Amino acid sequence: MASFKDFRNHIFDWEMTPEDAVALFLEWGNSGYGGSYENRVKGKDDESLYFVVDTWQAHPTVFLVRRNSDGAEELAKVRLPDELAKPFMDSVGHQKGVYGINPEIRDWLEVKIYG
């Protein structure tokens, strides 16, 4: 699997969440994403690169995901550092799941990607 730095020249959708990705790419014929039909997926060439935090394992992991209407591909992953993992897990009630990133994780990712 690639490193996050390998994707530094790509455009990330920093606001995308797993829920929004489903609404945008898997239900694209049914709804106007974000309340606007201008944002809808128009075809298979539309895609998004975004980050998620997966808490299903013993330690939270951040994944870079590429999603289009055909599915999702995990491009890169890294274990969340303890100083970010604990507050994040507290914020989600220690529930297992896949979540969007918070501002602290975004800041950490930007340093990791862009140096």
Claim: this prediction has a pTM higher than 0.85: yes
Contact 12, 65 (CB under 8 A): no
pLDDT tens, position by position, 89-99: 999 999 999 99
Q: Could you give the percent of the chain with pLDDT greater than 70?
A: 86
| Whole-number Å distance between alpha carbons of 106 and 96 | 20
pLDDT score recorded for residue 36: 54
Q: How many CB atoms lie within 10 A of CB 62?
A: 23
The residue to which tokens 């550092």 are assigned: 81
Q: Provide the 3-class DSSP secondary structure of residue 46.
A: coil
pLDDT score recorded for residue 76: 97
Domain ranges of the chain: 4-15+47-114
Q: How many CB atoms lie within 10 A of CB 4?
A: 20
pLDDT tens, position by position, 23-40: 888 765 555 555 555 566
User: DSSP characters for 50-68?
Assistant: EEEEE-SSSS-EEEEEEEE
pLDDT tens, position by position, 4-22: 899 999 999 999 999 888 8
Most confident of 2-6, 38-42, 100-104: 100-104
